[in-house]
């Protein structure tokens, strides 16, 4: 159990993975007659659970086939990221600070567990995290606060002693609803949009002075 915690979304937050998801969806979509350009990707894919993505974009395919399609797309994504992922600038410094100060660390993601495991391994950061919460394995995923509340429970930390890091509206809303101080990474959202969805601050990466000020103020 910990007295303080940092909770991180995966895609777009630990690493700028959206370009690889987009690449995978463009290639995958062609086989099913779906053109997934950047505006479509940002509106219907980024930060969304696969069940909703395939409901919105592949409605012409029988719904019972959606899990199989999702598995195929995610397998393609995992092939595309090999040797290509990089951590967001400054991330390793934050993780090392957390280790030094005995702060609990969690990944809270709507992504499938195989994706999260492979991405953490590719980034070389798997050993930092004490727990991984997968929204699709719970009764409700993001934007419901349940995944973040589950992460807090597993680490034994109250919401007022935690900070969440997110980059997409569903995740920001989930962390905000869990009453966690929320940092919006502007990898996929502008500052105004991040704050409109509930982020307390918005930063481009983990080197931002505003982030370190917030860490000191919120969890010390």
- Quote the CA–CA distance of 109 and 60 in Å, as a whole number: 27
- The continuous run of DSSP H or E covering 192 comes out as helix 191-196
Distance in angstroms (rounded) separating the CA atoms of residues 129 and 139? 23
How many angstroms separate the CA atoms of 48 and 164, rounded?
17
| Active site annotation includes 118 | no
9 catalytically annotated: yes
pLDDT at residue 116 in the model: 97
Q: What pLDDT was estimated at residue 186?
A: 96
pLDDT for residue 192:
97
The verdict on pTM exceeding 0.75 is: yes
Of 11, 16, 118, 167, which residue is the catalytic one? Answer: 11
Q: Is the peptide bond before 115 cis (omega within 30 degrees of 0)?
A: no
Burial class from Cβ neighbours inside 10 Å (0-12, 13-18, 19+) for residue 82 reads exposed
Under-70 pLDDT residues of the chain: none
Give pLDDT, residue 219.
97
Instruction: Write down the pLDDT at residue 46.
Output: 81
Catalytic site residue from 9, 16, 118, 200? 9
Smallest CA-to-CA distance from 37 within 26, 21, 28 is with 26
3-state secondary structure of 31: coil
pLDDT at 7: 99
């Amino acid at each position: 159990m910990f007295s303080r915690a940092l909770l991180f979304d995966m895609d777009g937050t630990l690493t700028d993975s959206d370009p690889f998801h987009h690449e995978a969806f463009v290639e995958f979509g062609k086989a099913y007659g779906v053109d997934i350009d950047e505006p479509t990707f940002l509106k219907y894919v980024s930060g969304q659970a696969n069940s909703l993505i395939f409901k919105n974009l592949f409605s012409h395919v029988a719904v019972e086939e959606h899990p199989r399609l999702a598995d195929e797309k995610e397998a393609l994504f995992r092939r595309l990221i090999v040797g290509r992922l990089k951590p967001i600038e400054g991330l390793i410094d934050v993780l090392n600070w957390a280790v030094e100060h005995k702060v609990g660390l969690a990944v809270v993601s709507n992504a499938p567990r195989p994706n999260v495991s492979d991405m953490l391994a590719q980034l070389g950061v798997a050993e930092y995290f004490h727990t991984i919460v997968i929204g699709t394995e719970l009764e409700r995923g993001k934007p419901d606060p349940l995944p973040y509340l589950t992460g807090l429970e597993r680490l034994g930390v109250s919401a007022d002693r935690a900070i969440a890091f997110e980059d997409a509206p569903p995740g920001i809303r989930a962390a905000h609803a869990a009453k966690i101080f929320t940092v919006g990474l502007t990898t996929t959202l502008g500052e105004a949009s991040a704050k409109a969805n509930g982020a307390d601050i918005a930063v481009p990466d983990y080197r931002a002075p505003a982030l370190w000020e917030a860490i000191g103020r919120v969890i010390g």
